[in-house]
Amino acid sequence: MTYRCTGCGSTWSDEKLAEEKRNNPKLISCCPERKMQPETWGVSVSVFGENILTIESAHLSGVSNIDSYTETIRNCAHHLLSFIGDSHGERRDTEKQP
């Protein structure tokens, strides 16, 4: 599990921060608000307001008839990729998706 500072986004552990302080005595912290939180993520798919699938960094759940929703889940995945763009930084044509 990666921990990240909510103030500045630093992933320095307390040990790494102590090492950096030895190299730079003026360094107080990664930022004044240093607050390390576990870096978690999650995505959920709902149909008509009902949650049918949830995938999180430490959790997975879905309805028992999840196979009935394969096209809906694929469609949601395409929309996620369209929104953020693919790994090459190009956005897909959302108009082709229903």
Binding site for Zn ion (CB under 5 A): 5, 7-8, 10, 30-31, 34
Please name the helix (run of DSSP H) or strand (run of DSSP E) that holds residue 7, with its range, or none: none
Residue 96 per-residue DSSP state = G
C-beta closer to Zn ion: residue 10 or 53: 10
H or E element in which residue 92 lies: none
In the complex with Zn ion, the residue whose CB is nearer, 18 or 31, is 31
Closest CB to Zn ion among residues 17, 81: 17
Written as six digits, the tokens of 38 are 């576990």
